[in-house]
Amino acid sequence: MIEALLILSPVLFSAIGVPLRERAKAVVTTLGTLVSALLATLIFMSGQEYVLEYPWIRGLGLSLSIHVTGISKVMGLLVSWLVFLIAVYSIRYMQGDYRPGWYWFMFGFFATSMLIIVYASNLWFLLVGWEGVGLASWALVGHWYRDERDKWVGDERHVMGTKYWWTPSRAGLRAILTVRIGDAFFIIALAYTFSSLGTLDIFGLRGAEWSALSGWALPLLFLFMIMGPLTKSAQFPFHEWLLTAMTGPTSVSALIHAATMVKAGIYVLIIISPIMLGALSVAPTVLTVFYLLLVLGIITAVMTTVMALASGEFKLVLANSTAANLGLMTASVGASGVLYQLTGNYGAAAFPIAAALAHIIGHAVSKASLFMGFGAVIHEAGTRFIYDVSGLYKYMRVTAIAMFLAMFSLMGIPPFLGFFTKEMALASIGIGVAIYSAVLLSFLTPIYGLRLLGLTFLGETRTHVHEAPPLMWAPYMALALAGIPLGLMWPVGGEKAVEETVAQYLRSAEVYVSKVAMYIPLLFLVLGVALGAYLYVIRHGVELVGGWRTLWRVAYDRFYLPVLYDRIIGGGFAAISRALYVAVDVKVLDAFYHRLLPSAFGYLSALFRAMQLGRVNLYIIYIMLGIIMTGIIILLI
Amino acid sequence: MIAAILVALFALSLVPYLLAKRNVYRAAYTSALLAAPLVPIGLYPLLTGQIYEEQYSFLGWRDLFTIVLTPLNGIFVFTIGLVGALVAIFSGPYMEYRSRDVSRDAALFYLTYTPFVVSLAMVTVVKHLIMIYVFLEIALIASLLQVVYYGYGDRFRIGLMYLVWSHVAALLMLAGFVLMVSPSMGAAPIYGGQYDVGPLPLALILIGALIKMAALGLHMWLPYVHAEAPTPLSALLSPVLVGVGGYILIAVFVPLAMSSSVLFSGYLTLYALATGIYGAFMALAQNDIKRLLAYSTVSQMGYMLLGIAVFNNYGITGAAVHYLSHGLGKAVLFMAAGYLILYMHMRDITRLGGLYADHAPMAIASIIGFLNLVGILTVGMIAEITLVVGVTERFGLSPAGAPYILALAALLIASAVYSFNTIRALFFGPRRYQNSGRPSPLVLVPIVVAAAASVIMFLPPISGIIWENIYGYIALALG
């Protein structure tokens, strides 16, 4: 009962709010998220672990089952409190909005869908939340459906004939269609799992008879299954939707980046990791799937970090940084299988997965704060472009302090929480040549972080703005400050608690930590901070020349991937449909059935009419001919 | 008892006819009342899982008028009744407007409305093959008159097109029925009718049903007819009529063909997937909202045919649930198209846009309608996952199964592409239309109710009960 209320209260309260007035909607939905957060806390504190199951469609293996285990308790606590804080922030941020009914209902629906993912132990049931999260993010990314110019992402120019600005409705379409690609394969994977193994219970699948599946079926199954998380968590080559999803209200960005949507993908990877590891132990071919996660995660992390250095919009920097951190988490999960295979020790798989879970927390706390804070900056300064503002520290001190604190955590500076969780993730992926990516990320992250802070808050003050109201800054200040005590707690028990939670979930007796020497990445972190501070704190920006400028341009244009996606794939799809319509439907099928056939009938009927001349001797000839032909046919047979 | 009710409904169709001469609205309400009894009739076996039979023989033709209610045909009858009643309510304001346009009172529309709806339901509940044919033809004639008298565009030519195609389909099926007969015509195979048949009758029935379902290559009539029919009729043709072709395949074709080769199932599956993908591509290319929805029906019939083609219990259960989800979703969307015609006098989606601003309830209902087509969080999702389980059970994940699986993924994605694209074009973006008139609640309420029903039918426990009963029955009937 408590569990049902915990999951459902956001959507139920927001549904109650539908007929109410704007302010009441906001308060009621926020109350719903508070109820949910308090219940999540209650369950977190209870210390019990159990699974609840109610039948839904037995014949399909679909049941309303939830697991209250260490891992879902931690995630539930994180999600529900972040949702509550973002709801509080939204009350003021969305005040006077033209579509409050849509916003608040979808907000509650979003939260409930995410909580279903967190607690579901049946994968079909999880899919219900999964689809809900995708739908809600589509609805909220396109919340400002009138496509006003100030809600766009990108600047109004064409690159290789492609529009390089995205309206909310277009960004929403990109988001839903990208995740739909993953979902199609995800659904097929679940269906195949059920039809071949008879269950979709995440615990029941661990001891599955994998040997029953032939050769390629197993890696293909997991390849399809990870397509869902890869698209939802915006991993290369599916990361583009996340960058244009910035068209939604900033509170929505905070929700998508910190608490829901993209974290759902990583969380599902963590949830299914014991199943994949179990399959790996009997079928080495599954290792390809882990390698794929590792490689795609690293590509995403490096690529989006580079793009974050060049982005010209506040939210775009943050979005790139989210994709980069998600890349780290994805790569960590990938590393779990690789380490398991390399060491032959199941405990070795636990640490990277613990790192992914830890970094979900570390990243979420700082990123929620950053989005809300920069949302306030955009709100107050009236622009989404970094270069339009400067020296805002003078007027927005509280916000500036909060943003510095949150960004330090994101950059991975001790003693903030982000330092520890990022270190775990970097340590996890430090296998073989992947260590270079860890070095590169350590070096580049502080530069884009300091760039964003320096260009926004430091330097000469050009415009007069106001500090955000307390109802808005309280949530992001609280989260920014939370990074410090959480960070201090980390070495004295936090890390251990997360590791034990994961080990318990994996049913691994121990957590085998294979930390590669992290001094080199640490050294590069220091170098990155120094360079970032020089460029953006001391010098307040830098003029790029020559090859650097070309590199910047390529990164600024997002490696020209929007050209591929919007023009070649999107435009190609539309062009094919029009061409098929004209070439096949109109010119062949329609012409055949509705012009050629009728005119053939018309021609035949004219022919037969022409034979009826009303002359008797002609008819006698026809009769004779008929008799002769019939005779020939009879003789032949 | 049930037979008496159904016969009475036919007879009572004279009442709306007489009413329509004076007041279209009363005729509409009465027609809704006459369609409504089908809802409990369908719901009873669907919710209880029971099989109910009323035997009537005639002049030595055993079971000629026998009626059977099962969870399988229950979902068809329920859908036909619910959509029929809702569309009837919607038809009031629409036919008032349309009769002015064509300078003819709506009497003929309401005279044929109830017979059309009831005979569609009859197709699914009669046990005897001949009666399946008879009611198909009655439904055809009733709807044909509506196209000819109240349709759009070149309605006589399109009426003729509809007549020829549908009649050819029905005759092919009849020829198949006659050819597969052992000494006397008998019950449909799903009710235990025993037949020893060769490939020819099966092929005839299959082709006839494929024309009815507007499968790829045989679909050409559907965009014309569904786009140019009077919109309330479109809201019945697309959701409920074409799917009846699927019912005939399940009741007659599948039990006889199930044991056929895997190869045949494979070809039919690929054909179904091709129909679905092709329809989705065609839908994306349309600017006329009614033509777009008509092509979307072609695509959706690909899903239904897919469930049938895999020849297993999951697939057929999925096809049956899909009938409900497509029925509700497409009824919402066609009624929404009617709403646009009534209040915007517009069918061209390139000239609409930003409709959410003034028509939020209709927009939200239409979004739910599209979610049924895409299979997201509506009863469409239950149908979708059941169908996908059917396909994976049949073909698995192996290099040999790859074409099926990849085409299936393509179908799921292509459906989302045209659906979300259309949602964006119609409802979002800057406002691009001139508003005229406030919508009548009679138009809006059925749209919203149908959309809400598709969500309610998704939720537990109702979707579970329905699913288990259909699946249980199919497992029993097909073994």
Give A181's contacts in chain B (Cβ within 8 Å). Answer: 413
User: Which one of B220, B317, B398 has the shortest CB-CB distance to A214?
Assistant: B398
The residue of chain A with its CA nearest to that of B471 is A59
How confident is the model over A164-211, as pLDDT tens digits? 999 999 999 999 999 999 999 999 999 999 999 999 999 999 888 888
CA distances from B403 to A286, B273, B375, B406 (A): 22, 10, 22, 5
| Chain A (121-160) residues lying within 8 Å, Cβ to Cβ, of chain B | 124, 127-128, 131-132, 134-135, 138, 142, 145-147
User: Which one of B284, B376, B428 has the shortest CB-CB distance to A135?
Assistant: B376
Q: Is the dihedral of CA B268, B269, B274, B276 positive or negative?
A: positive
CA distances from B450 to A394, B83, B246, B364, B365 (A): 57, 7, 22, 12, 8
Contact A369, A406 (CB under 8 A): yes
Identify the segments of chain A with pLDDT beneath 50.
none
- Specify the pLDDT at position A254: 92
Give B429's contacts in chain A (Cβ within 8 Å). Answer: 145-147, 167, 169
Give A215's contacts in chain B (Cβ within 8 Å). Answer: 398
| Chain A (160-219) residues lying within 8 Å, Cβ to Cβ, of chain B | 167-170, 172-173, 176-177, 180-181, 183-185, 187-188, 190-192, 194-196, 213-217
- Specify the pLDDT at position B432: 85
Cα B85 from chain centroid (whole Å)? 14
Identify the segments of chain B with pLDDT beneath 50.
none
The residue of chain B with its CA nearest to that of A221 is B397
Instruction: Return all residues near A161 (Cβ < 8 A) that are at least 6 apart.
Output: A563, A567
- Specify the pLDDT at position A514: 61
- Specify the pLDDT at position A434: 84
d(CA B387, CA B382): 9
CA distances from A627 to A148, A618, A633, A635 (A): 82, 14, 10, 12
Q: What is the ipTM of this complex?
A: 0.96
Contact A373, A379 (CB under 8 A): no
Give residue B12's domain range: 2-478
What is the β-pairing status of strands A62-68 and B52-54? unpaired
CA distances from A561 to A158, A236, A553, B420 (A): 13, 10, 13, 22
| CB burial string A109-143: b at 16+ within 10 A, e below | bbbbbbbbbbbbbbbbbbbbbbbbbbbbbbbbbbb
Instruction: Return all residues near B33 (Cβ < 8 A) that are at least 6 apart.
Output: B85
- Specify the pLDDT at position B62: 81
Q: Which amino acid is at A261?
A: M
- Specify the pLDDT at position B182: 65
- Specify the pLDDT at position A126: 97
User: Which one of A138, A173, A581 has the shortest CB-CB distance to B285?
Assistant: A581
Within an 8 Å CB–CB cutoff, is residue B403 touching chain A? no
> How many other CB atoms sit within 10 Å of the CB of residue A603?
10
Query: Can you give the pTM of this predicted structure?
Result: 0.95
Give the E-state strand segments of A61-185 in sequence order: 62-68, 153-159, 162-166
Here the tokens at position B110 are 């309401």
Contact A123, A268 (CB under 8 A): no
Contact B397 A138 (CB under 8 A): no
pLDDT > 90: percent of chain B = 82
CA distances from A84 to A9, A136, A264, B165 (A): 12, 17, 17, 59
Within an 8 Å CB–CB cutoff, is residue A527 touching chain B? no
d(CA A144, CA A152): 10
d(CA A566, CA A562): 5
Number of domains chain B is built from? 1
The residue of chain A with its CA nearest to that of B459 is A56
